[in-house]
């Protein structure tokens, strides 16, 4: 392997001081919605930024946690063509139509036949933690926060916690 | 793509105020166990909740970090049939019996032949961060915290940190 | 499934008290570099530890967030043979040469033809949160922090936030 030549371009050289350090706070919310399709992607970036702004936290973390196993939260570019590919990828990497014990009445009392939804949720994760800087969610130019429904249509809840100063 | 119709059902409308903001604390623990099988899943939800209760943190985060590359921590439903499928999925998505340089004495001094364990650990991640609310781990009805052993039997350590107010 | 026999070997029995609880702080940095290859792995462990040491945080969290969708941050062992396998795994689990709408001028104006890079970044995640204990990043013996470039060569930025006491 060729040794990576890391060229360090140091940015933001001075630390962000927090004179109001005693002002540490935790701001909790739960947001809900109803999904339309079995496999659906929602752009929740604006909703999260709205909560961060309301929280009064300037520097810290925003933590997102879907309260369901068959869903996920992650980052990607929000472009229609790419979202189509993302859905195809989930269908390829976790097959729906193969044998699963979770879908077999002999082994399981789950009537949703949603083993594939469980695998997709597990693979992509139910949580996402992002930095809060200058009172808004830190995101790169092309980064959007995406909620993935893997077993809709259903009612879904996302717990949002903003903490910091 | 049909535009997602997000129906916002706002819940928990008032912020959780933290009058005792000066009471920010960090509570560290390491828990250990010995696994029995090469590929094994452990439900550690009760252990984590016990630590959160002891921590005295009411609102904040609990961070779990396995100290090994060939293991993971993630969320899924704890149902026997599904756990069988989860193991099969790991065996499908990362093959054990293909060629890996890490398993080849010509390139590697690793005697465990565990390249597949490394891929599985990397894919699923060694860390999990969850919200603490009302002095317990926030989890949806069907969510359990699962530790995955990918290269057992071995002695394993999990670092648990609870922080907040 | 045979029931896992968890043998709890309790370690670190006393809590870490933080007398200076009022000293909660957030320390922000952005580090930059230029990558050389389309698919490249960088060991950034030392750089992160340096930032944690400078932060003055003794107990808390260090959060890493790549500001790009086609890159990732994760943990694995830093061994040359294994890194070769890791790259092969990414090429296997997400194929570059299949049809993607994101690469099709009929559907997308992206000229980089990097749909595979997006899938790899999404699968592995752009964020990583680790514990800070005793003023350094908590890592197991074989754990290194790896930045993965999936669409290089490019200029890349990683946001690092250390928070705690």
pLDDT in tens, C84-109: 999 999 999 999 999 999 999 999 99
pLDDT of C15 > 60? The answer is: no
pLDDT band with cut points at 50, 70 and 90 for residue C20: very low
**Which residues, at least 6 apart from A85, have a Cβ–Cβ distance to it below 8 Å?**
C100, C101, C102, C115, C118, C119
8 A C-beta contact, residue A64 and residue A128: yes
Q: What are the chain B neighbours of A164 within 8 Å (beta carbons)?
A: none
Judge: A127–B128 Cβ closer than 8 Å, yes or no: yes
Which C positions 112-131 lie with beta carbon below 8 A of chain B?
Answer: 123-125, 128-131
Closest among C64, B23, C126 to A75, alpha carbons compared: C126
**pLDDT tens profile B19-76:** 444 589 999 999 999 999 999 999 999 999 999 999 999 999 999 999 999 999 999 9
Contact B101/C82, CB-based, under 8 Å? yes
* pLDDT confidence tier of residue A14, bands split at 50, 70 and 90: very low
**Smallest CA–CA separation between C32 and chain B, in Å?**
24
Distance in angstroms (rounded) separating the CA atoms of residues C73 and C80: 18
User: CA separation (Å) from B55 to A162, B52, B163, C16, C18?
Assistant: 20, 5, 8, 10, 12
R_g of chain C, CA atoms, integer Å = 19
Q: In what order do the strands lie in the sheet with C136-137?
A: C25-34, C155-164, C60-66, C127-133, C136-137
Burial label, A116 (beta-carbon count in 10 A; 0-12, 13-18, 19+): buried
Rounded Cα–Cα distance for residues A148 and A141 (Å)? 21
- Counting as contact any 3 or more CB pairs under 8 A, the partners of B are A, C
Residue B1 confidence (pLDDT) = 41
CB pair distance less than 8 Å for B60 and A29: no
Average pLDDT over residues A42-58: 98
Q: Which residues pair with B163 in a beta bridge?
A: B26, B61
User: For residues B101 and B142, what is the distance between their CA atoms, to the nearest angstrom?
Assistant: 39
CA atoms of B76 and B145, how far apart (whole Å): 7
- Model confidence at C22, pLDDT cuts 50, 70, 90, reads low
With beta carbons less than 8 A apart as the criterion, state whether C64 and C139 touch: no
Please name the helix (run of DSSP H) or strand (run of DSSP E) that holds residue A88, with its range, or none. Answer: helix A80-93
**Among A9, B92, A136, B128, which residue's Cα sits nearest to residue C61?**
B128
Of A79, A131, A165, Cβ closest to residue C159: A131
pLDDT of residue B14: 34
Query: How far apart, in whole angstroms, are the C-alpha atoms of residue B141 and residue B75?
Result: 12
- Above pLDDT 70, what percent of chain A? 87
Strands (E), A35-164: 40-43, 60-66, 71-76, 127-133, 136-137, 144-149, 155-164
Subunits adjacent to chain A (3 or more Cβ pairs under 8 Å): B, C
Residues of C in contact with A74 (CB under 8 A): 122, 125
| Residue in C31, C119, C129 closest to A8 by CB | C31
In DSSP notation, B15-38 reads ----TTGGG-EEEEEEEEEE--SS
Mean pLDDT for all residues in chain C: 90
Task: Check whether C21 has a pLDDT greater than 50.
Answer: no
Compute the residue count for chain B: 165
C-beta atoms surrounding C127 within 10 Å = 21
Pairwise CB contact (< 8 Å): B81 & A102 = yes
Residue in B with minimal Cα distance to C19: B25
Put the strands of the sheet holding B136-137 in their side by side order. B25-34, B155-164, B60-66, B127-133, B136-137
Positive or negative: CA dihedral B126, A61, A53, C124: negative
What's the rounded mean pLDDT across residues A92-99?
A: 98
pLDDT given at position A119 = 98
Could you tell me the pLDDT band of residue C19, with boundaries at 50, 70 and 90?
very low
The enclosing H or E element of A89 equals helix A80-93
* Rounded Cα distance, A28 and B133, in Å: 8
- Chain C residues touching B129 at Cβ < 8 A: 129
* pTM as predicted: 0.90
Q: How far apart are CA C101 and CA C158, in angstroms?
A: 29
Percent helix, strand, coil in chain B, to 5, is 25, 30, 45
Q: What is the pLDDT of residue B22?
A: 57
Decide if pLDDT at B15 tops 80: no
Q: What 3-state class would DSSP assign to B161? A: strand
Model confidence band, residue C35 (pLDDT cutoffs 50, 70, 90): very high
Q: Do B12 and A30 touch (CB under 8 A)?
A: yes
Closest residue of chain C to B67, computed from CA coordinates: C140
Is this complex scored with an ipTM above 0.95?
Answer: no
Residue range A122-146: mean pLDDT, rounded: 98
From chain C residues 24-43, the ones with a CB under 8 A of any chain B CB are 24
Report the 10 Å Cβ neighbour count for C147: 25
Cβ distance C86 to B32 less than 8 Å, yes or no, reads no
Q: What are phi and psi of A24, to 5 degrees?
A: -60, 135
The residue among C121, C128, C65 whose CA lies nearest residue C94 is C121
Phi, psi of C161 (to 5 degrees): -130, 125
What average pLDDT is seen over chain A? Answer: 90
Euclidean distance between CA atoms B137 and A135, whole angstroms: 26
Interface contact flag, B138 A67, Cβ < 8 Å: yes
**What's the pLDDT tens digit per position in C123-147?**
999 999 999 999 999 999 999 999 9
Query: What would the pLDDT profile of C41-69 be if each residue is shown by its tens digit?
Result: 999 999 999 999 999 999 999 999 999 99
For residue B78, what is the nearest residue in chain C, using CA coordinates? Answer: C1
For position A4, what pLDDT does the model report?
A: 46
**How far are the Cα atoms of A70, A128, B99, C39, C123 from residue C90, in angstroms, in the given order?**
24, 22, 15, 9, 10
Range from C11-15, C90-94, C146-150 carrying the lowest mean pLDDT: C11-15
Q: Is the dihedral of CA B41, B83, C91, A39 positive or negative?
A: negative
Q: Are C75 and B122 within 8 A, CB to CB?
A: yes
Q: What angle do CA B37, A123, C143 make, to 5 degrees?
A: 60
Other Cβ atoms less than 10 A from the Cβ of C48: the count is 24
pLDDT confidence bin for B8, thresholds 50/70/90:
very low
């Amino acid at each position: 392997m060729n040794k990576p030549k890391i060229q360090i371009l140091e940015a933001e050289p001075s630390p962000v001081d927090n004179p109001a350090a005693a002002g540490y706070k935790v701001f909790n919310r739960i947001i809900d919605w109803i999904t339309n399709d079995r496999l659906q992607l929602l752009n929740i970036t604006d909703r999260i930024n709205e909560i961060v702004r309301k929280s009064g936290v300037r520097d810290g973390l925003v933590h997102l946690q879907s309260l369901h196993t068959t869903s996920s939260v992650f980052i990607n570019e929000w472009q229609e063509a790419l979202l189509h590919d993302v859905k195809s990828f989930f269908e390829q990497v976790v097959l729906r139509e193969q044998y699963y014990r979770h879908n077999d009445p002999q082994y399981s009392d789950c009537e949703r036949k949603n083993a594939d939804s469980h695998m997709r949720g597990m693979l992509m994760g139910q949580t996402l933690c992002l930095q809060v800087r200058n009172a808004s969610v830190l995101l790169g130019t092309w980064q959007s926060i995406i909620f993935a429904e893997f077993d809709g249509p259903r009612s879904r809840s996302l717990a949002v916690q903003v903490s910091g100063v």
